[in-house]
């Protein structure tokens, strides 16, 4: 299997996770699924149960709400493909962690934690012979959020998505369950 990487991005319920799983099923049986969700309430617990049911039983699951690259390095074993689902929750986890200080001047330390985590993921991808599929939400298409935390979240996730999109081979925007390869559409000149 050739090493490849993709970022799958889109809105809620756009088909991102299913498309990531479909890509994996077409390429290999040796999949490491990295789940960033935390079961903090009953509704999220139910979502996690349903998400687990949707995956093949032979895939290994690694629960990593933070320190994703470190956890992957420890647990990758013979995986040929790693799915990280999702960057959206990873950023949320980092911005709401008690150990990340949020001062009166804003969310600088928390945003730096997000940058470090994304950098760690890119480094992990570079060191690994496995292919990677990353799943994230596009949250920049709506209104400007009303609170400082919400704006910091939108900005941090937007920067994380941009950094990952620059690195990966393909970027798919999911629209109503249909993947559009936006990186293939990219043009460097205005006339094209």
Helix, strand, coil fractions of the chain, as percent rounded to 5: 45, 20, 35
Distance of CA 184 to the CA centre of its chain: 20
Measured distance CA(179)–CA(134) in Å, rounded: 14
**The two three-digit tokens of residue 15, written as one number:** 């088909």
Cis peptide, bond prior to residue 86, ω within 30 of zero: yes
Q: Which residue has the tokens 């910091």?
A: 152
Q: Is 131 helix (H, G, I), strand (E, B) or coil?
A: strand
Contact 79, 104 (CB under 8 A): no
> Which positions are annotated as active-site residues?
51
Measured distance CA(32)–CA(81) in Å, rounded: 6
């Amino acid at each position: 299997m050739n090493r490849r990487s993709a970022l799958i991005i889109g809105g809620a319920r756009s088909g991102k996770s299913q498309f990531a799983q479909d890509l994996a099923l077409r390429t290999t049986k040796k999949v490491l699924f990295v789940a960033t969700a935390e079961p903090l309430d009953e509704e999220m617990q139910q979502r996690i149960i349903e998400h687990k049911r949707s995956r093949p039983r032979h895939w290994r699951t690694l629960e990593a709400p933070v320190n994703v690259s470190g956890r992957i390095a420890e647990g990758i074993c013979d995986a040929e493909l790693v799915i990280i689902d999702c960057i959206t929750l990873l950023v949320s986890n980092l911005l709401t962690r008690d150990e990340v200080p949020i001062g009166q001047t804003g969310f600088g330390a928390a945003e730096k934690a997000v940058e470090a985590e994304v950098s760690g993921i890119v480094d992990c991808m570079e060191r690994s012979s496995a292919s990677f599929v990353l799943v994230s939400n596009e949250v920049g298409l709506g209104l400007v959020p009303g609170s400082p935390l919400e704006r910091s979240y939108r900005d941090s996730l937007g920067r994380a998505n941009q950094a990952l999109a620059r690195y990966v081979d393909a970027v798919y925007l999911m629209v109503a369950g249909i993947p559009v390869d936006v990186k293939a559409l990219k043009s460097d000149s205005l006339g094209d």
